[in-house]
Structure 1
Amino acid sequence: MTIHALHSGLDTIWVVLTAAMILLMEGGFALLEAGFVRSKNSVNIIMKVFADITIGTLCYFLLGFGLMFGSDLFGIAGSNGFMLNGDLSHLKLSISTDTFWLFQGAFVIAVISIVSGAVAERVNFRAYLLYVVLMTALIYPIAGHWVWGGGWLGKLGFQDFAGSAVIHALGGFSALAAAILIGPRKGKFMPNNTSSIALPSNLPLASVGAFLLWFGWFGFNAGSTLTATDVRIGHIAIVTMLSAAAGGAATLIYTLFRYGRSDAPSVINGSLAGLVGITAGCAFVSDRAAILIGIVSGLFMMAATNWLEAKRIDDPVGAFPVHAVSGIWGTIAVGLFASDGGLLTGGGWHLLGIQLLGLTVLCIWGFVLTWFALKLINKWVPIRSTDEEEEVGLDVSYHGIMAIHTSPEFINVDDYFIENPRENPN
Structure 2
Amino acid sequence: MELLTTNNVWMMVCTVLVFFMHLGFSLLEVGLTRQKNAINILFKNVFIICAGLLTYAILGFNLMYPGSFLAGIIPDHFFDLFGLNAPITDGALDLAYNNGYTYWTDFLFQGMFAATAATIVSGAVAERIKLGSFMLFSIIYIAIIYPIIGSWKWGGGFLDEIGFYDFAGSSLVHSVGGWGALIAIYLLGARLGKFGKDGRSHAIPGHNIPLATAGVFILWLGWFGFNGGSVLSADPSLTSITLVTTCLAAASGGLAAFLVSTIAYKNYDLTMFLNGILGGLVAITAGADLMSPLEAVLIGLIAGGVIVFGVSLIDKLKLDDPVGAVAVHLACGIWGTLAVGIFGTLAGLDQFLTQLTGVGIIGAFSCISAYIILSVIKSTMGLRMEEKEETEGLDTHEHGMNAYAEFGTAQNR
Taking structure 2 as the reference length, the TM-score comes to 0.93
**How far 1:389 moved relative to its partner?**
1.2
Q: Which amino acid aligns with 1:401?
A: M
Q: Which amino acid aligns with 1:304?
A: G
2:52 maps to 1:50 = no
Matched residue SS, 2:341: helix
Structural mapping, 1:367-386, within 5 Å: 367-386=367-386
| 1:98-131 superposed Cα distances (whole Å, 9 cap, x missing partner) | 1100000110111110000110000000001101
Counterpart-to-counterpart distance in 2, 1:64 and 1:282: 26
| 1:161-198 superposed Cα distances (whole Å, 9 cap, x missing partner) | 00001011111111000000111101111121112111
* Equivalent in the alignment of 1:357: 357
**Residue 61 of structure 1: which of 57, 61, 64 is its match?**
57
| 1:128-160 superposed Cα distances (whole Å, 9 cap, x missing partner) | 110111011101000000010011101111100
2:138 maps to 1:132 = yes
Counterpart-to-counterpart distance in 2, 1:227 and 1:265: 35
2:86 maps to 1:80 = no
Counterpart-to-counterpart distance in 1, 2:189 and 2:27: 24
**Residue 347 of structure 2: which of 342, 345, 359 is its match?**
342
Q: Is the Cα–Cα contact under 8 Å of residues 84 and 97 in structure 1 kept in the other structure?
A: no
Q: Which amino acid aligns with 2:287?
A: G
Q: Is the Cα–Cα contact under 8 Å of residues 11 and 228 in structure 1 kept in the other structure?
A: yes
Q: Is the Cα–Cα contact under 8 Å of residues 95 and 102 in structure 2 kept in the other structure?
A: no
Counterpart-to-counterpart distance in 2, 1:106 and 1:56: 8
**Residue 30 of structure 1: which of 2, 18, 26 is its match?**
26
Gaps of 5+ in 2: 87-93, 409-413
2:322 maps to 1:316 = yes
Aligned pair count reads 398
1:93/1:131 CA distance change after superposition, 3 Å:
farther
* Equivalent in the alignment of 2:411: none
* Equivalent in the alignment of 1:420: none
| 1:11-66 superposed Cα distances (whole Å, 9 cap, x missing partner) | 11111110110010000000000000001011111000011011111111100111
1:147/1:204 CA distance change after superposition, 3 Å:
same
Between 1:82-91 and 1:199-208, the stretch displaced more is 82-91
Identity between Structure 1 and Structure 2 (%): 37
**How far 1:259 moved relative to its partner?**
2.3
**How far 1:251 moved relative to its partner?**
1.3
**How far 1:6 moved relative to its partner?**
0.9
Counterpart-to-counterpart distance in 2, 1:407 and 1:311: 36
**How far 1:376 moved relative to its partner?**
1.5
Counterpart-to-counterpart distance in 2, 1:48 and 1:173: 19
Taking structure 1 as the reference length, the TM-score comes to 0.91
* Equivalent in the alignment of 1:120: 126
**How far 1:377 moved relative to its partner?**
1.7
Structural mapping, 1:400-411, within 5 Å: 400-406=400-406
Counterpart-to-counterpart distance in 2, 1:57 and 1:282: 26
Counterpart-to-counterpart distance in 2, 1:304 and 1:64: 31
Matched residue SS, 1:29: helix
| 1:357-394 superposed Cα distances (whole Å, 9 cap, x missing partner) | 00011111111111110112223311111111101101
Q: Is the Cα–Cα contact under 8 Å of residues 340 and 352 in structure 2 kept in the other structure?
A: yes
**How far 1:205 moved relative to its partner?**
0.6
Q: Which amino acid aligns with 1:182?
A: L
Q: Which amino acid aligns with 1:137?
A: A
Q: Which amino acid aligns with 2:391?
A: E
Matched residue SS, 1:216: helix
RMSD (CA atoms): 1.5
1:179/1:8 CA distance change after superposition, 3 Å:
same
* Equivalent in the alignment of 1:419: none
Counterpart-to-counterpart distance in 1, 2:236 and 2:368: 38
Larger radius of gyration: 1
Q: Which amino acid aligns with 2:65?
A: F
**Residue 266 of structure 1: which of 260, 269, 272 is its match?**
272
Counterpart-to-counterpart distance in 2, 1:74 and 1:98: 26
Q: Is the Cα–Cα contact under 8 Å of residues 71 and 80 in structure 1 kept in the other structure?
A: no
Q: Is the Cα–Cα contact under 8 Å of residues 95 and 103 in structure 2 kept in the other structure?
A: no
Structural mapping, 1:298-309, within 5 Å: 298-309=304-315
Counterpart-to-counterpart distance in 2, 1:76 and 1:10: 36
Q: Which amino acid aligns with 1:79?
A: D
Counterpart-to-counterpart distance in 2, 1:29 and 1:354: 31
Counterpart-to-counterpart distance in 2, 1:95 and 1:361: 31
Q: Which amino acid aligns with 1:342?
A: A
**Residue 236 of structure 1: which of 216, 220, 242 is its match?**
242
| 1:248-297 superposed Cα distances (whole Å, 9 cap, x missing partner) | 00111122222222101100000100000000010011111100100100
